[in-house]
Structure 1
Amino acid sequence: MKPSLITVIVTILLLTSCSAIVSNNTGKQTQSSSLMDFLYPNKESRSEHKPELPVLSLPVKVGLAFVPSKNWHRDGLHGKDQVELLEKVKQSFLQYDYIDRIDIIPSTYLQGGEGFTTLEQVGRLYDIDVIALVSYDQVTQSLENNAALLYWTIVGMYVIPGNENSVQTFVDTAVFDIKSKKMLFRAPGINKLEKRTTAVGIDGTLQEKSLEGFRLAVNDMTANLDHELARFKTRVKEEKVAKIEHRAGYSGGSIGYGIMLFTVLLMSRKCLVIKTKQSV
């Protein structure tokens, strides 16, 4: 028996709003962590803060951590995913000889802390001089569109509404000298993903695209971080952004030093070849 016109209209009206029924992720959702809120938990601390000129002892010991968010328990970026992303960021630091080591620090060590006081405690715990703090802001949107799927089945007509899903992700790494409380440099990264899905596929799609958005934004950020790390040595010399000391046993090797050493060895080899030819 064919359904009546009224039945069809009511069915369509009910099912076109089913995305809100089958998922709690429709509309606009945000997960974020604020670097400013973490470092300066109250407005007075922001006005009182007067960073000093940092003194860096090379090679520096670096810590790497995500800034915890206020809505910690509702965040979709879990500890395992954070560690995976931080491992990518870590690779940017490892290629520079003025870096001694990089320790990944769980965000739980920073959660509920009091800004720079917490960083000093973490610095003593991990024996680090510098910390790279990764903050983030991700906005997901799932809105119903007109691309609904209308089809007949053996038991009647069904309407599955289509949803336009977008995920916009921003990440930022800010590197601080813990003792002087001075920011040395920062590097941002952004990404935007879009995908159409049915209402019943919203949760899985948004969860998948959320993590993918973080990964792609971190990839963009690490490219910028590589540039800032390479430029930092020049800034120390030209802009005097920090004073440099050498730890005992550190030769102070650098890219420039390596090139100079290679040049000396090459010239010595040429001189040896010339002398050999003359002797012959």
Structure 2
Amino acid sequence: MKFKLMMVVLSVFAISACSSLLMSNGNKGAISSSLMEFLYPDETSRAEHVAEIPTLTLPVKVGLAFVPSTNWARDGINSSQQIALLENVKKSFMQYDFINNIEIIPSDYLKGGQGFETLEQVSRLYDVDVMALVSYDQVTQSTEKKAALLYWTIVGMYVIPANENSVQTFVDTAVFDVKSRKMLFRAPGISKLEESSTAIKIDAVLAEKSIEGFTLAVDDMNKNLDAELSRFRTRVKEENVAKIERRAGYSGGSLAYFGLLVLGATMVLRRKYSAA
């Protein structure tokens, strides 16, 4: 009788221990990097900026980097993971012939300061005209579910509460002309992942889902980047949002085609009315 009572007590203690472990791990966490805080860190930097039409020299040289994490906290993804994700973003730009080259810039180079002054220093270092800055927000949450996992052992049955783990990720690429400090366009991407686990496996599951969430969000962002690049070319033609120049020896480029089409159409109309 005493032996059975002892087994019951031990079973209850084991279940309670699992529940305690679950409660200590069942929480909500967030990692982020803020584009606004990086570019406009104080009141002076937020002063009204005189609008200026940027001049893009084709083919464009682009720098690509992650915005450092907010308040200099740890980055949500390490340097090697950042580089791998930026390689995927790079592919979205490289398919256009009006882009010369893209330099992937480690976020460490941006941690030395804040604001457009830092952006200008980095652009000179890497010899780029345009900077594409990727910011992010990721929220991870683990909550106890009503369902439970049952385990049979040599001393009886154990009940281990299951956890519902969710990871929501938002990434955003903002493309700036460095000289005029004007944002040319932006493209967001999102992802949401959910998976159940035991309390013991919470950390491992959340770590795995965290990088998967970034990967899926960047993939979604790349689709939007393609659409925004196409939209920007149309805006250059119809809204004059940027002036276009060419580097010596360059004669192609999708953006340049807009200027050639307009010039060609004007010449045809002149000839038509001259003949009339």
Counterpart mapping for 1:1-280 below 5 A: 1-3=3-5, 8-21=11-24, 23=25, 26-254=26-254
Q: String of CA shifts for 1:27-49, please: whole Å, max 9, x gaps.
A: 10000000000000013321333
| % identical equivalent positions | 67
**C-alpha spacing 1:255/1:42, structure 2 compared with 1 (3 Å):** closer
Superposed CA deviations along residues 169-215 of structure 1, whole A, max 9, x for unmatched, are 00000000000000000000000000000111111110110000000
Q: How far off is 1:217 after superposition?
A: 0.3
Give the superposed CA RMSD. 2.1
TM superposition score normalised by structure 2: 0.86
Cα pair 2:67 2:133 within 8 Å, conserved: yes
Give the deviation of 1:154 after TM superposition.
Answer: 1.2
What is the match of residue 271 of structure 2?
none
Q: 1:71 to 1:114 in 2, by over 3 A?
A: closer
**5+ unaligned residues in a row in structure 2: which ranges?**
261-276
Report the counterpart of residue 263 of structure 2 in structure 1. Answer: none
TM-score if structure 1 supplies the norm length?
A: 0.85
Q: Identify the residue that residue 277 of structure 1 maps to in structure 2.
A: none
Q: Distance in 1 between matches of 2:253 and 2:242?
A: 18
Residue 157 of structure 1, CA deviation: 4.2
Aligned length: 256
Consecutive unaligned residues of structure 1, counting only runs of 5 or more, are: 261-280
Q: Secondary structure of 1:236's match?
A: helix
**In the aligned structure 2, how far is the partner of 1:215 from the partner of 1:98?**
27
8 Å contact from structure 1 (residues 51, 181) kept in 2:
no
Q: Is the 8 A contact 1:169 1:192 kept in 2?
A: yes
Summarize the Cα distance change of 1:90–1:101 in structure 2 as closer, same or farther, 3 Å threshold: same
